[in-house]
Each structure stands twice: as C-alpha cells, then as structure tokens.
Amino acid sequence: AYDGFLASSGSYELVGDALTTRAYIHLNPTATRAWPNRTRSYRVRIEGDTLHWDFGDGGVGRFKRVKGGLPPK
C-alpha cells in the first residue's frame, strides 16, 4: 500500500475566507494546464485547531493542528 504524493511550488493569497493558490512548478505539469493562469481558488475557515478546506468540487478537507509533533500510533 502507498499514500498519494503531490508536490508543487508557488504562492498563495488569503483574503477573508478566500484562499487563492498559484502554481509555479508542479510535479505533474498536466495538472496545472487546466487551471486558468495556474491559479485555483478555495474557501477555508479555522475552528479551534481544525482547518476546513472547501475544494469547490464537493470535496472538503479537514486538517487538525498537532502540537508537539505527531501523536503515537
């Protein structure tokens, strides 16, 4: 089994709850061809230690802040 891997380099701008990313270099150049001006826009919000990331395609990511390193397995 393996986990997916995605790598890119770029910049971001956060204004209110609007996050805009701009890819300069991407592991898979095909992935950015469909992006107008190599940018993507998302909605984000933070509640406590959790970042909620709305990808705009119906998908939502929830990322929990971990303090002091990774929890034991």
| Contact between 64 and 49 (Cβ < 8 Å) | yes
**Which of 72, 69, 53, 49 has the alpha carbon at shortest distance from 61?**
53
pTM value > 0.85 = no
For residue range 13-67, what is the model confidence (pLDDT) as tens digits?
A: 999 999 998 888 777 766 666 666 778 889 999 999 999 999 887 888 998 887 7
**Which of 8, 71, 70 has the alpha carbon at shortest distance from 35?**
8
